Structure 1
Amino acid sequence: MAVVAPPMELQRLRVLDTVTVGLTPPAAAEHAMAPLPLSGLDADRNMLDVTFRTLRFFPPPPPSVDPLAVLPRAFAAALGLFPALAGRIRDGYVVLGAGAAVPLVLAASELSVADVDTDAPASALLDGLAPGDGDGDVADGPALALQATRFACGGVALGMRVAHALCDGAGATKFLAAAARFASGQGPPDMAPVWERRELLGPRQRPRVATPVFDRVLALDDDVARCGPYGAAGEWHSQQQLTRECVHMSDARVEALRARLADEAGLRLTTFEVAAAFIWRAKVKANGTSSGEVVKMVYSMNISKLVDPPLPDGYWGNVCVPVYVALAAGDLIAQPLAATAALIKKSKQAVDDEYVRSYIDFQELHRGEGVTAGAVSAFTDWRRLGHGEVDFGWGGPEAVLPLSWRILGSTEPCFLLPYGAGDERRRRGFKVFVALQRAAVAGFREEMQELLLKQQQISVGRL
């Protein structure tokens, strides 16, 4: 059988070394005999066996600074504050054994950062700039893996793979921001990291589900119990040939639509509510879904300040719950877009402390029975995750990208992403990475025209 050569840009990527970033002996001794329990949100099956991968591009440091020398020391210092990232996940706990450490790949590329297309969500080069996906093998490797790549222009790419059961995007950013502080000589973060996961977000002593929404949108499925929420859908999705699109959204056009829909609905609407309603409808229309089929969207909502008591600022576990909207495809397409945006707002208003506790308890009561919402279109907003705080001393990230796409029980997610600080499009809009069926691409593009930046370029790739 002929060997297929990797793409040319990957051939110009060289691994220089793989170093292990370990805990100091005192920290290792402190945690070696004390398994750390996960929270009820961490132990959600949608998170438990899943890793997520991210990629950040940074500007060149001063000539006197070698980023491949600075970063290992900075990560070692930060790991002392976040020791669980060097552990392994076992049965709802994080276990740190002797010699617990995080692998850090140091690499170099002959390319310039300007040669990298950060608008291509399925780029082989982007994928090669982060540690490989570890889905299904979370228990066999450390919770965190890192890769730092220096480009010929001096720019730096930082790739990360982390077990989703330990943190979401906000929690991972806290770790990176702590490492950045050490790298820039600022010392530890002002707010110490907080664990206390079972105490703050564990199931109640007598689990109970007082929020009826979960009985309406969640079900139990033997295939999901056996294969997980993503494995059960994998064969169907491979047959459908999902693709990834990069869509460039215009702030002015979204704002004009938001104002019109707010007036029609008699409500104050957010950009997220309007954009999610528009994109969800566009996907369903482009898919040609039968009018009587119930379609669902799910999005993640930060509950840090909604629970009682509020989560402390240093808490770095998963802090989002899934929120669902479901209706017949025909109703979604026929009703005014303002009505769909209003439904999303109404679903957000239903999220309170009891919603969170009931969701955690529902998972606890049915753990192992295959909790699933079925086929869902997932949405998550990364525009305000504190990316600018990750500054290793030579500037914050110029681009932040998701590489893994298994979130909220869905393999058809939509990410709202900011442009980098140096991208002139930042003043005019934001971009969206979205997964959809390949057969729906043309229809989806047509549906999205109303909100697009002019002269945008769309990248398409296979999932």
Structure 2
Amino acid sequence: MPCIKGINQLRKPPNIMEVIIQETTTIYPSNPPFNHPHTLSLSHLDTDLNLHVTFRYFRVYANLSNSNPFQLIKNALGTALGPYYPLTGTLRKLEGCRFELHCTPGKGVPIIRASVDYSLESLNYLDELDETFSERLVPNPGLVEAMDHPMILQITLFKCGGYVLGSAVHNMLCDGLGASEFFNGVAELARGVTRMEVEPVWERASLLGPREPVRVEFPFEEFLRLDKEFSPYLQNVGPTVRVCFPMMEKWLDRFKEYLQERSGSRFTTFEALGAFIWRARVKASNIPKDTKVKFAYLMNIRKLLNPPLPKGYWGNGCIQMYVQLTAGELTDQPIWKTASLIKHSKYNANDEYVRSYIDFQKENYEKGITAGKEVSGFTDWRHIGHSKVDFGSGGPVNVVPLSKHFLGSIEPCYFLPYSSVAVEGKEDGDGFKVLVCLRECAKDGFMAEMDKFSRLEFDLG
């Protein structure tokens, strides 16, 4: 039986590879939608301080059509930036610490052209790679540059004709679904349509603004912390590493059967696997048993609201959900109880919960709202469209997030889809991939726990 152990660490290739930066250009909207400076209001979900971070990731393309991807994407991007012109704006901090978007004629999106003198096939399409190299495939703006240019792109051409599209997008402008919607729109234009199927909708302050008067109906302070001086992304837990491993369907099926046998409940993959990984990480990190630890994730609210958000809304349309335990409770209680807590936490997500959270943000924003320390962030990328962005030669053969900052967590976990595109030299298994960031000192213990999972050893109470 195959096991997880031994195939997880992002390995360093045998030779030192250079990413050669050739040029940086700016793409402007091909049909400028305005001719005077103006500001756009952001929602209280957009300006959550946990989202004051640039999200970085890349897509790998085999380029089976042998097109010129740099020119193709440049042209399509220029057209898309007409309706999506807020991506050319500048984030500005207001009094009271909130943010707004300032839009000025003549601004655009920077795009970097780079090259690598290797074929993607020789690098296994970046499935396993040195972190130093992968970091150079995506722009990495500082805080000031990220506010001035909330989107920066990089296209890196490989010797085989394939390429990597690296994206650095400020999280205050959009969540994963919103970014996916934008890139799928650019891809539509690259494939030859004259107009994107879904037109973007802004209206953030009116659709997701606070009520008058505000009304907070849920005890958010039970798991959130008000501390203006605390920065969740500056926590010092020592060196961190990324590990990536396959998750086979037969392992998951047997684990979910195990949970159902003991609890009488059915669990989704996210609930079941999330519980196991959270427990494995906390156990391996040797966190003191009386320390509070949190499981954090995003719940899509677009269809939960009354009325639902309109089609094309590309701002942050998710609410942060939490499960909180002490480290001792998490590691000592039966695993099915943890999965049940994650499952039941979803039941809170409704229109009133979202409106209350927005009102809570308005009342407490200046105090600094954070989830505190020891937060494990989880997100599922399998179904939000990242793997469907097709510029005309097929979708990406790999999608890799680089950000270690997510929902106040510096140790996020991503569930990643396998490619739907078959390419020579790359074989994907069934199931999906899991990418986990964790403190380096916990790596061996964590992978030992995941190796037990692959061997169907679930005797956890």
TM-score, scaled to structure 1: 0.89
Aligned partner of residue 103 in structure 1, secondary structure:
strand
Instruction: Pick the aligned partner of 2:60 from 57, 60, 83.
Output: 57
Q: CA 1:9 to 1:109, structure 2 compared with 1: closer, same or farther past 3 Å?
A: farther
CA distance in 2, matches of 1:328, 1:111: 48
Q: Which residue of 2 aligns with 1:109?
A: 116
CA distance in 1, matches of 2:416, 2:455: 14
Aligned partner of residue 428 in structure 1, secondary structure:
coil
Structure 1: 5+ residue stretches without partners:
1-6, 455-463
* 1:28-107 matches, cutoff 5 A: 28-29=34-35, 32-47=36-51, 49-63=52-66, 65-91=67-93, 92-107=99-114
Once superposed, what is the RMSD of the aligned Cα atoms?
2.1
Cα displacement (A) at 1:145: 0.6
**Alpha-carbon contact 2:416-2:435 (below 8 Å) kept:** yes
CA distance in 1, matches of 2:155, 2:22: 10
CA distance in 2, matches of 1:426, 1:201: 40
Cα displacement (A) at 1:293: 2.1
Q: Which residue of 2 aligns with 1:277?
A: 275
Q: CA 1:9 to 1:368, structure 2 compared with 1: closer, same or farther past 3 Å?
A: farther
Instruction: Pick the aligned partner of 2:23 from 11, 17, 25.
Output: 17
* 1:241-280 matches, cutoff 5 A: 241-280=239-278
Cα displacement (A) at 1:427: 4.1
Amino acid at match of 2:54: T
Aligned partner of residue 27 in structure 1, secondary structure:
coil
Amino acid at match of 1:275: L
Instruction: Pick the aligned partner of 1:215 from 221, 238, 252.
Output: 221
* 1:23-422 matches, cutoff 5 A: 23-24=29-30, 26-29=32-35, 32-47=36-51, 49-63=52-66, 65-91=67-93, 92-116=99-123, 118-120=126-128, 123-135=131-143, 137-139=145-147, 141-212=148-219, 214-224=220-230, 228-231=231-234, 233=235, 236-237=236-237, 240-375=238-373, 376-421=375-420, 422=422
Aligned partner of residue 366 in structure 2, secondary structure:
coil
Q: CA 1:319 to 1:417, structure 2 compared with 1: closer, same or farther past 3 Å?
A: same
CA distance in 2, matches of 1:284, 1:432: 17
Cα displacement (A) at 1:151: 0.9
**Alpha-carbon contact 2:29-2:80 (below 8 Å) kept:** no
CA distance in 2, matches of 1:222, 1:198: 24
**Alpha-carbon contact 2:58-2:164 (below 8 Å) kept:** yes
**Alpha-carbon contact 2:19-2:115 (below 8 Å) kept:** yes
CA distance in 2, matches of 1:305, 1:39: 17
Identity of aligned residues (%): 41
Q: CA 1:267 to 1:173, structure 2 compared with 1: closer, same or farther past 3 Å?
A: same
Runs of 4+ residues deviating >6 angstroms = 7-10
Q: Which residue of 2 aligns with 1:438?
A: 440
CA distance in 2, matches of 1:158, 1:253: 32
Q: 1:210-256 CA deviation, whole Å, 9 max, x = no partner?
A: 112x12001211422xxx4323x2xx23xx22222112222110111
Q: CA 1:453 to 1:251, structure 2 compared with 1: closer, same or farther past 3 Å?
A: farther
Q: 1:416-459 CA deviation, whole Å, 9 max, x = no partner?
A: 111223387644221111121211111111111133499xxxxx
Q: 1:278-327 CA deviation, whole Å, 9 max, x = no partner?
A: 00000111112222222111111111111111111211011111111011
Structure 2: 5+ residue stretches without partners:
1-12, 94-98, 457-461
CA distance in 2, matches of 1:50, 1:70: 29
Q: Which residue of 1 aligns with 2:451?
A: 449
Aligned partner of residue 444 in structure 1, secondary structure:
helix
TM-score, scaled to structure 2: 0.89
Higher share in helix: 1
Name the stretch that deviates more: 274-283 or 401-410.
401-410
